[in-house]
Amino acid sequence: MFRSMRQRLIGIYLLLLVVVLGVISWKIDRDYFADKISANEVQSRSQLAALTRAAEAELEGLVQVLDLAYPILLENRAGASAGLYSADQAFSRFHLITRVVGTGADLHLEHTSTLEKSAVRSWGPTYILAKLKGVSLPAADGSLLLTILDPERRPWFLYIVSSPLTQEMYAALLPVDFMQNLLDHQKGQLAKFALVNEQAEVVAHSEPEYIGNLMPTSDPVLQQIQNGKGAIGAGLWQSPGSEQVHGFFEKVGTSNLYVTIQTPVGALMADRNLMRKRLLWLGLSLAAFGICVILIFPEGHQEDPAALQKLVQAATPVGLVSPQAAKIATTPEAPRAKPKRVLVEESQEPPEAPPLIQVAESALPERTDLISPKVEEFSNLFSEEKVDSAMAAMESLEPLEKTYPIAEPVILPEDSVQIQAAPPHPDPAPATGQTLIQKPSLRPSKKADHFSVAIRRPKSSPAGRES
Express each pLDDT in 189-204 by its tens digit: 888 899 999 889 999 9
Q: Is pLDDT at 130 greater than 50 in this prediction?
A: yes
Task: Determine phi and psi for 148, rounding to 5 degrees.
Answer: -135, 140
Among 358-372, 423-437, 439-453, the range with the most confident prediction by mean pLDDT is 358-372
The pLDDT-based confidence of 63 (bands split at 50, 70, 90) is very high
Greater confidence (387 vs 366) lies with 387
Residue 82 falls inside a structural domain: no
Distance CA 241, CA 262 (A): 14
pLDDT at 62: 92
More confident residue, 349 or 448: 349
| Contact predicate 68/90, CB 8 Å | yes
pLDDT of residue 195: 93
Looking at the structure, do residues 454 and 383 belong to the same domain, yes or no? no
Residues 383 and 316 in one domain: yes
Strands 244-251 and 169-174, sheet pairing: unpaired
Give a yes or no: residue 453 inside a domain. yes
Residue 84: φ, ψ to 5°: -125, 155
Q: Is residue 380 part of a domain?
A: yes
Mean local confidence (pLDDT), 16-34: 83
Is the pLDDT at 29 greater than 90? The verdict is no
Distant-in-sequence, close-in-space partners of 323: CB < 8 Å, separation ≥ 6: 352, 353
Q: Which residue has the higher pLDDT, 362 or 224?
A: 224
Give 276's pLDDT tier (boundaries 50, 70, 90). confident
Are both 467 and 416 inside the same structural domain?
yes
pLDDT on residue 413 = 60
| Percent of the chain scoring above 90 in pLDDT | 16
Q: What is the 3-state secondary structure (H, E, C) of 365-427?
A: HHHHHHHHHHHHHHHHHCCHHHHHHHHHHHHHCCCCCCCCCCCCCCCCCCCCCCCCECCCCCC
Mean pLDDT of 355-375: 55
Q: Does residue 461 have a pLDDT over 50? A: no
pLDDT confidence of residue 51: 92
Domain containing 313: what range?
A: 305-329+341-390
The reply to whether 457 falls in a domain is yes
The yes-or-no verdict on residue 74 having pLDDT over 80 is: yes
Mean per-residue pLDDT for 228-239? 83
In this model, does residue 339 exceed pLDDT 60?
no
Residue 242 in any domain: the answer is no
Q: Within 13 A of 92's CA, how many CA atoms are on the CB side?
A: 9
| Highest-scoring range by mean pLDDT, 11-15, 145-149, 328-332, 344-348 | 145-149
Q: Does some domain include residue 57?
A: no
Specify if 49 maps to a domain.
Answer: no
Same domain for 417 and 367 = no
Under the banding of pLDDT at 50, 70 and 90, the label for residue 303 is low
Query: Total domain count for the chain?
Result: 2
Confirm whether 358 is domain-assigned. yes
Residue 441 banded pLDDT, cuts 50, 70, 90: very low
- Which segment, 13-17, 320-324, 337-341, is predicted with the most confidence on average? 13-17
pLDDT at residue 133, rounded to an integer: 85
Share of the chain above pLDDT 70, in %: 65
For residue 308, what pLDDT is reported? 62
pLDDT at position 375 over 60: yes
Residue 365 has pLDDT above 70, yes or no: no
pTM of the model: 0.56
pLDDT at 160: 93
Contact of 204 with 198, CB cutoff 8 Å: no
With 60 as the cut, is the pLDDT of residue 222 above it? yes
pLDDT at 57: 92
pLDDT category, 136, cuts 50, 70, 90?
Answer: confident
**pLDDT (average), residues 239-253:** 84
The pLDDT, as a whole number, for residue 56 is 92
